[in-house]
Amino acid sequence: MSRFSFYLVYFHLFGVLSLYEDQVGKFDWRKQYVGQVRKLYWETERSATGGKRLYVCTDRSVIAAINTSDGDLAWRKVFEEGRRGDVDDLVYTGTSLLSVLAGTRLQAWNPAAGSLVWETAMEGDITHVGKVGYIAEPSGPGIAVGLSSTHLYGANMRDGSVLWNVELPNSDVVKYDILQVVDSVMYVIGRTSGTEVKVISVDKEGATVSSRSVLAGFLRRDTRCSVVEQMYLMCVCPASESLQVLSLQHGSVFTATSIQDLGVREGPVKVLESTPAGTVLLAPGRSVVLVSVAANNKVTVKKHLPKALVATAVQLEDKWYLMYLQASSNEELKVGGIELETGSTLSELSHTFHYPRHSGQPELMSVILARKKDGKLGYRMAVLSQDFSLQLIHKTGKVAWRREESLAYTYAVELLDLPVSENQAKFEEEFGSHADNVVTMFMKRVKTQVSQLQTFLLEHLHRLQGVKQTSGVIAEEEEEDEEDLLRDEFSLHKMMVMITEPGKIIGMRSQNGHIVWQHLVPDLAPFDTLGSKRFLLFVQRTTAHFPHQPQCVVLGKNRVSGRGQLFAFNPITGEPVSGMPGEGEHLPYSVRQAFLLGVWDEHFMKPLVMMDHSNMVQVYPASMLGFLRDQTPHVYMYQADTDNSMLYGYRLATSGATVTVDNVWTVNLQNQRLNMKITNIVGKPANEHVHSQGRVLGDRTVLYKYLNPNVVVVTTEGEEPATQQLKAYPIFNVYMIDVVTGHMLFHGHHRKAVGPIHVVHSENWVVYAYYNQKQLRHEMAALELYEGKEQSNMTAFSSLTAPTEPLVLRQAYVFPLPIFTMATSITEKGITSKDILIALKNGGIFSLPKAFMDPRRPLVPTQETQEEGTVPYIPELPVHTEGIINYYQTLSHIRGLHTSPTGLESTSLVLAYGLDLFQTQVQPSKMFDVLKEDFEHWLIASVVLAMLVASFITQKLAARKALSRQWM
Amino acid sequence: MSFTWIVIILVQILGVWTETDEPNGTDLFTIEGKVEVVSTTNKDWLPDTQISVDGGTFISYLRGDGRFVISGVPSGTYMVEVVNPNYMFEPVRVDISAKGKKRARKINLMELSPIKTVHYPLEFRERRKPNYFQKREQWKITDFLFNPMFLTMVLPLVLVMILPKMMNAADPEAQKEMQSQMKALNDRSSMPDFSETLTSWLGGGSNKKNRKDKTK
């Protein structure tokens, strides 16, 4: 009990970090995404919400409804990460949404509210891609039909009860992946690679009507088959460049049509969509063909659009129209519409609209047509693009909204200070130069101040003019963007640079999440290391070096060749640096290791050093090779072979004109018996400052921190094989290695514990989280390294003359909740205490003061430990909802947390990315450097004023009293 | 003797349940339950509520009646949570044996041994609303008045200023005594001067008048 009260006292001492309710949305924002859209349906007009929504399923395990008016999410359902949550298929029946997840979970959703109506399990293999269809019954509720790897299920659409199921023959060899419902007959199509196609038809009572096997020797792995015009199976054979067609009802043999016969260029053809009016094919060289199957199963061309990028066939009032997009001019696309029956072009459907270059190619379009009051046709069109964006275009050719879904695939983030204004920069220049004499410096000062006055006046003049011009709608929209990209007082507003999966680079304002610039590098693909995708993003030159422009460089691999792909750009404007092509630089080598050198040249540029597959050292920009050569004897690097759990340390060496590496050390973390694999390699943040060199103990001595910047934490995971007495159990190791010398500072071993291990490494401490399989709980462990009571080197740390073995303190705690990832807050000078930010799997981001994960927490508190200010040890770490910094704005599938210092020592910016984006500020030691926003100016002013008045009045009164006393 | 028997039985029970920790076989089972929010009749919480097993390894949503079924679960031990940003629920651990026997128990992170079973199919009821925010300190007059510093200042003031007056009003004798004391003080403090004599004379005059009135 006494310990508990202690605990409470300390808890208050370290401050409950939490928001006030009126601060909601003041310095935080959340943006929700859905991911790359796979299937898209327009809501029917007669439904409850009146045709104002798009229903989508995406490859990020999401089913969502998007409002067509503004692009916001009406509702969103997020499923499990990994195979179990994959949405294989989605069908909209007009009153209900049917989905199949992971090939085995058949679900029905209420489209208006987004609530689950029912879920039914299907037997089958989880890796098999399931399909769903439905049979509408005018009288009854209808039947939902689900196809798993082994069975075809029919379920009552109202409650999900299984009406019948059909076991499919030879499901171990035949892959059943197509389901087609035509007039209450279901066709299930399976195939066996290289031999035959199986067509099974089932009626709505669940009885097998017919089962046929058709020889199909052309089937390969890359053969794409789909049902076209509801009654033919069309397979596209890239090898023979032909289309194979089979009639579903009674066909017994495939009929081939050569692609050349369609009058298009040779190459792979892709089926975009199929409707009763025909099938839209995307032919090589970006031309679109509408084909239909003739009576003899031959494919014939109905319409050829040689310039179109994508097209779709739409029905309105029994007439079919073909809508297409084609490139019009720079950054513009043209919409066109053709009535299929007559072949006439409809002028009311033809518009041009703005289509930015960074969207890449349009990949799919979906159109809904409507008859306007004046009898003309109107349309709404959704376009999916290469950069995963989804945009909606209105009847007049206006872009209503765009959703940048690539942001759900952010793999690298960097926050940069905005540049100072030109005047400010000139001021700073004054302090930089020492060559000038007093007179010129004085002149300079006068000049800058005159120009400052000038800009001030101009600004006001512009503002006055701006008031007059606020008539245009566009001005209103872009009002926010007109705000200059200049640093604010405390540098709280930053430029957020994000690199996403499709190679799209986005620059965003950190204060509100508005996109400033975008650039698409289509060939840039992420590396796949340690089980996660990542880009390497480096800041070569920050904004602090006016007039030099800031520069960032992103390194990934080429989508096609797998070699390096590099792109250097100005992070404030998003423009490529001079000499850099817009599509990036395709490197002639694959990159094994890359890092930014810690020193800059006379232009304040830090070179990017890369090691290629032949252990040669490459530099970007290449002109800095000479600079690197001067540094070579002092530059060390390391490389990990994750599969064989080997670490190699290198020193850079010059040989002739080139730079190579010498192997200095090798560490083998492998244990053949246990099959250990490296799962984490975590260094310290490069931009970190440590303010305090040690900590003062209760007896007034100082324990010095072991502040070696070259320490890297490596974790390896494996399994102890089963013996006669014991079952196999998982184990993992934690190592701390000085990567300059290869010296191992610490080795920890955990039995019956599994990952994923999340490691935070900062200053002189490491915190890692894992799952204890024996005790069935999540745990966290903290390590702290100290030199001891003497400090070996006061000025700078060198691994080569490192002190003897550091003192490693450790302690473990129970953490009650499962977590996604962890990070630590970072501040400008490192004076502020640290918070551990923990992304919880229930969608919260929890901030826990580091003091709770201090290995010096005593089991029994004494006078001395109280003096030191440590919290008594309690196994369980406190999780309280006040510490959840995103309060009720829960986040899904958080992949990373990025923290960044600001100009205020107390404040650190936090960005959580994953399916959603969330940005906020944390103040681990509360806001000690500026007045709180709830500082009561009025109260204090009124109290002071009241005091003045009171003293004045009492003075008068006292004088009167003294007088009257005199009269007594 | 009975003690050893208990130990043996305990070992057997534990043995049975530790077996279930390892998933063996390919049989898949379901976890079923129901979620209730009794503090509101509004059903808005339903679509936002997620059932999350082992932090998202298995996820399910609620049907219109608050029920849920998670299918395709292999045997093992799982933590079942109800996730809703506006209500808090207590998580439960569910054990599924290799034969499909299910048991639900309270989560005790510190020790596994004393097992407190709860009802299966699971029943979740909201515990409380989470508090994400700090209360903003507002300036109130009562805070000021009941501040100990204020009280320590005011109490002596009361004692010094008001108490004598109250005494004065209460007791005319005491008043007189006080007045005489005051007079004596005044006399001692200052020499009788013109104004002093004038006032005493004026005061004396009025007294005389009063006396005259009384005699009438």
Q: Note the pLDDT tens digit of each residue in A755-810.
A: 789 999 998 999 999 999 888 899 999 999 998 888 777 677 777 777 778 899 99
Q: Which residue of B has its CA nearest to A773?
A: B21
Select from A570, A564, A623, A621 the least CA-distant residue to A589: A564
Partners of residue A727 in chain B, C-beta under 8 Å = 22
φ, ψ for residue A866, nearest 5 deg: -65, -40
Q: B116: which residues sit within 8 A by CB, 6+ positions away?
A: B105, B106, B108
C-beta atoms of A934 and B199 within 8 A: no
Of B22, B30, B195, the CB nearest to A967: B195
Single-letter code of the amino acid located at A117: V
What are the boundaries of each domain within chain B?
Answer: 3-125, 142-215
Compute the mean pLDDT over every residue in chain A, rounded to the nearest whole number. Answer: 85
d(CA A966, CA A779): 82
Instruction: Tell which CATH architecture fits domain B3-125.
Output: Sandwich (2.60)
- Determine the pLDDT at residue B11: 38
Higher pLDDT, B172 or A570: A570
Q: Does B19 touch chain A (CB under 8 A)?
A: no
Render pLDDT for B59-69 as a digit per residue (tens, 0 to 9). 999 988 888 99
Pick among B109, B190, B202 to test the A interface (most A CBs inside 10 A): B109
Residues A617-650 as b or e (16 or more Cβ within 10 Å = b): bbbbbeebbebbbebeeebbbbbbebeebebbbb
Pick among B133, B140, B150, B193 to test the A interface (most A CBs inside 10 A): B133
Comparing A218-222, A823-827, B51-55, B177-181, which segment has the lowest mean pLDDT? B177-181
Tell me the helix, strand and coil percentages in chain A, rounded to 5.
Answer: 15, 45, 40
φ, ψ for residue A424, nearest 5 deg: -60, -40
pLDDT band for position B2 (cuts 50, 70, 90): very low
Q: Which residue of B has its CA nearest to A892?
A: B56
d(CA B77, CA B123): 18
ipTM of model over 0.90: no
Smallest Cα distance from A116 to chain B, Å: 5
Partners of residue A816 in chain B, C-beta under 8 Å = 109
Q: Report the DSSP pairing between strands B133-134 and A19-20.
A: parallel
Partners of residue B185 in chain A, C-beta under 8 Å = none
C-beta atoms of B133 and A882 within 8 A: yes
Q: Does B35 touch chain A (CB under 8 A)?
A: no
Residue B14 has pLDDT above 60, yes or no: no
Smallest Cα distance from B26 to chain A, Å: 11
Q: Does B128 touch chain A (CB under 8 A)?
A: no
Of B56, B69, B137, the CB nearest to A119: B69
Higher pLDDT, A433 or A582: A582
DSSP symbol at B13: H
The count of other CB atoms within 10 Å of the CB of residue A599 is 13
C-beta atoms of A887 and B132 within 8 A: yes
The count of other CB atoms within 10 Å of the CB of residue A91 is 22
Q: Which residue of A has its CA nearest to B85?
A: A888
d(CA A919, CA A130): 37
What is the separation, in whole angstroms, between the first and last Cα of chain B? Answer: 116
Residue B212 has pLDDT above 50, yes or no: no
User: Does pTM surpass 0.90?
Assistant: no
Residue the block writes with tokens 């290198």:
A650
Render pLDDT for A378-389 as a digit per residue (tens, 0 to 9). 888 899 999 999
d(CA A208, CA A202): 4
Check: CB of residue A894 under 8 Å from CB of residue A756: no
Render pLDDT for A692-705 as a digit per residue (tens, 0 to 9). 888 888 888 899 98
Compute the mean pLDDT over every residue in chain B, rounded to the nearest whole number. Answer: 74
Partners of residue A115 in chain B, C-beta under 8 Å = 46-47, 61-64
- Determine the pLDDT at residue A484: 74
- Determine the pLDDT at residue A10: 45
- Determine the pLDDT at residue A244: 87
pLDDT band for position A483 (cuts 50, 70, 90): low
Partners of residue B195 in chain A, C-beta under 8 Å = 966-967
Render pLDDT for A823-880 as a digit per residue (tens, 0 to 9). 999 998 888 899 999 999 989 999 999 999 999 999 988 888 888 888 899 999 988 8
C-beta atoms of B60 and A84 within 8 A: no
pLDDT band for position B20 (cuts 50, 70, 90): very low
Q: Does B177 touch chain A (CB under 8 A)?
A: no
Partners of residue B139 in chain A, C-beta under 8 Å = 936, 939
And the tokens for B117?
């079973």
Of B21, B81, B131, the CB nearest to A882: B131
C-beta atoms of B110 and A966 within 8 A: no
Residue B167 has pLDDT above 70, yes or no: no
CB pairs below 8 Å between A and B: how many? 115
Residue A377 has pLDDT above 90, yes or no: no
Q: Does B86 touch chain A (CB under 8 A)?
A: yes
The count of other CB atoms within 10 Å of the CB of residue A954 is 11
pLDDT band for position A688 (cuts 50, 70, 90): confident
Check: CB of residue A843 under 8 Å from CB of residue A891: yes
And the tokens for A717?
């995971």
And the tokens for A837?
């930010």
Q: Which residue of B has its CA nearest to A159?
A: B63
Pick among A81, A776, A934, A936 to test the B interface (most B CBs inside 10 A): A776
CA-based Rg of chain B, rounded to a whole angstrom?
42
And the tokens for A13?
């001492």
Select from B97, B212, B135 the least CA-distant residue to A19: B135
Angle between helices B194-215 and A937-967 in degrees, nearest 10: 80
Render pLDDT for A553-585 as a digit per residue (tens, 0 to 9). 999 999 998 899 999 999 998 899 988 888 888
Check: CB of residue A780 under 8 Å from CB of residue A769: yes
Residue A647 has pLDDT above 60, yes or no: yes
C-beta atoms of B52 and A842 within 8 A: yes
- Determine the pLDDT at residue B4: 40
Render pLDDT for B83-117 as a digit per residue (tens, 0 to 9). 998 899 999 999 998 888 888 898 888 887 788 88
SS3 per-residue string spanning B58-116:
EEEECCCCCEEEEEEEECEEEEEEEECCCCECCCEEEEECCCCCEEEEECCCCCCCCCC
C-beta atoms of B62 and A888 within 8 A: no
- Cα–Cα distances (Å) from B63 to A114, A118, A626, B49, B51, in that order, read 11, 6, 67, 10, 11
C-beta atoms of A819 and B133 within 8 A: no
CA geometry: angle A235, A239, A244, nearest 5 deg = 25
List beta partners, residue A70.
Answer: none
Partners of residue A777 in chain B, C-beta under 8 Å = 109
